[in-house]
Structure 1
Amino acid sequence: MNARNKELSSVSSIIIVVSGILLVVSIFLPWWKMIFFAPQYPEGLNIIVYPYKLEGEIDIVNGLNHYIGMANFSEETFPELTYLPYIVGGYAFLTIITAILRKKFFLYGLICLYVLGGALGVWDLRKALRQFGTNLSPTAPIKIDPFIPPIIGENTVANFVTNSVLGLGAYLLIVAFILLLIPLWKDRKTK
């Protein structure tokens, strides 16, 4: 039997189901966060990104960003928030179907979809960060050079230090992906 058409074990199928459950749970948790620190805000200001909403001190951050000419952060400026939960739900559904079918061929396809979805997500976030940091209003009261905040890491603009970090939901996505790889190793063909 071709290794790609080989059936996955019951344990591997359970591992894949757990991966799908983690995807669903991740929808309700933060995926990404920016924390802004400055002398006047030593406790930090947050923008917390869920797959379907923004939380944190967004109004304060927008008020401060006005001074450097940056566009406002809002759920309306991120249309992805209206459909991303459905995409993640679709991935979870495909993950459960893969667990039921128990074919390595479908698992390979699912892993490729995860990689593609992850790459598109990183690209989309990077594009948004570039848009916000480089399209500064020329009439802003404070003139600064355009910048691109990092997806993960630290950035300094004027007297603000910004830390960008992954949220718990993003870690669950990573674990869900790793769980999909385990059956490939566990059920590998031995001679």
Structure 2
Amino acid sequence: MNDSTGNKLSITSSLLIALAAVLFVVSIFFPWWKMVFWAPQYPEGLNIIVYPNKLDGQIDIVNGLNHYIGMRNFSEKNFPELSYLSYLVWGLAAITLLTAILRKKIVLYILIGVIVIGGILGVLDLHNALHDFGTNLSPHAPIKIAPFVPPIIGKNQVANFITHSLLGPGTYFLLAAFVLLLIPLWKDRKRK
């Protein structure tokens, strides 16, 4: 069928979009973010690993140490997003697959817009959580430290602990999926 508006995506672009849907699903099974804590007494490091549906790592040890500076516990209960985030990603994958089937540029534009907004909201949500954990310290804590905000990516030092915040493989799958969605916009830019 000839689409005179130039709104039809090529079969190759449709396949790239379908592959993006697969990568969205794959991302659910890998960590999206982690924080590694090093100190002289923990030379092997301690981890908080964040999947889209759970926390992993040495959470109990980190919580025990954070108690001394008055930081509240890291737990899935304190991150309600973990109860629904994987469902959002499954939904995103389904919409992406539908976009591949429809092969309409306008649908792809809308999908990319939704992903950009969702990504910005996700980053802001993580920043707000880190801000909340680092600045709402109990005044009754045994060790008094100045409030702090751990970075989303990068290095931070609190007392004798050096922390590194890193993106996990799941986030790289998300980013790769997003790039796959952008390629058809360039590839089919003059397609009529």
Residue 2, structure 1, aligned to residue 23, structure 2: no
Amino acid paired to 1:56: G
**Deviation at 1:188?**
1.0
Provide the C-alpha distance between the structure 1 equivalents of 2:182 and 2:170, rounded to a whole number of angstroms: 19
SS in 1 for 2:60: helix
Provide the C-alpha distance between the structure 2 equivalents of 1:97 and 1:142, rounded to a whole number of angstroms: 54
Provide the C-alpha distance between the structure 2 equivalents of 1:163 and 1:51, rounded to a whole number of angstroms: 20
Q: TM-score, normalised by structure 2?
A: 0.97
**Deviation at 1:190?**
6.3
Deviations 1:45-70 (A, max 9, x none): 00000000000000000000000000
Deviations 1:53-98 (A, max 9, x none): 0000000000000000000000111000000011011110100000
**Deviation at 1:136?**
0.1
Amino acid paired to 2:58: E
Provide the C-alpha distance between the structure 1 equivalents of 2:106 and 2:81, rounded to a whole number of angstroms: 30
SS in 1 for 2:18: helix
Deviations 1:134-163 (A, max 9, x none): 000000000000000000000000000000
- For structure 2, the residue ranges without an aligned partner over 5 or more in a row are none
SS in 2 for 1:179: helix
Provide the C-alpha distance between the structure 1 equivalents of 2:163 and 2:154, rounded to a whole number of angstroms: 8
The equivalent residue for 1:29 is: 30
Q: TM-score, normalised by structure 1?
A: 0.97
Provide the C-alpha distance between the structure 2 equivalents of 1:177 and 1:11, rounded to a whole number of angstroms: 16
Q: Report percent identity of matched pairs.
A: 68
Residue 163, structure 1, aligned to residue 164, structure 2: yes
Residue 145, structure 1, aligned to residue 149, structure 2: no
The 5 A counterparts of 1:9-158 are 9-158=10-159
1:94–1:160 distance in 2 versus 1, CA, 3 Å = same
Provide the C-alpha distance between the structure 1 equivalents of 2:189 and 2:65, rounded to a whole number of angstroms: 55
Give the paired residue count: 189
Provide the C-alpha distance between the structure 2 equivalents of 1:57 and 1:50, rounded to a whole number of angstroms: 14
CA RMSD of aligned residues (A): 1.0
Deviations 1:1-59 (A, max 9, x none): 334xx100000000000000000010010000000000000110000000000000000
Provide the C-alpha distance between the structure 2 equivalents of 1:140 and 1:190, rounded to a whole number of angstroms: 64
Provide the C-alpha distance between the structure 2 equivalents of 1:109 and 1:186, rounded to a whole number of angstroms: 18
Query: Which of structure 1's runs of 4+ aligned residues deviate more than 2 A?
Result: none
SS in 2 for 1:128: helix
Amino acid paired to 1:124: D
Amino acid paired to 2:63: N
- For structure 1, the residue ranges without an aligned partner over 5 or more in a row are none
**2:37–2:47 CA contact under 8 A, matched in 1:** yes
Provide the C-alpha distance between the structure 1 equivalents of 2:191 and 2:177, rounded to a whole number of angstroms: 26
Amino acid paired to 1:175: A
Provide the C-alpha distance between the structure 1 equivalents of 2:189 and 2:27, rounded to a whole number of angstroms: 29
**2:9–2:191 CA contact under 8 A, matched in 1:** no
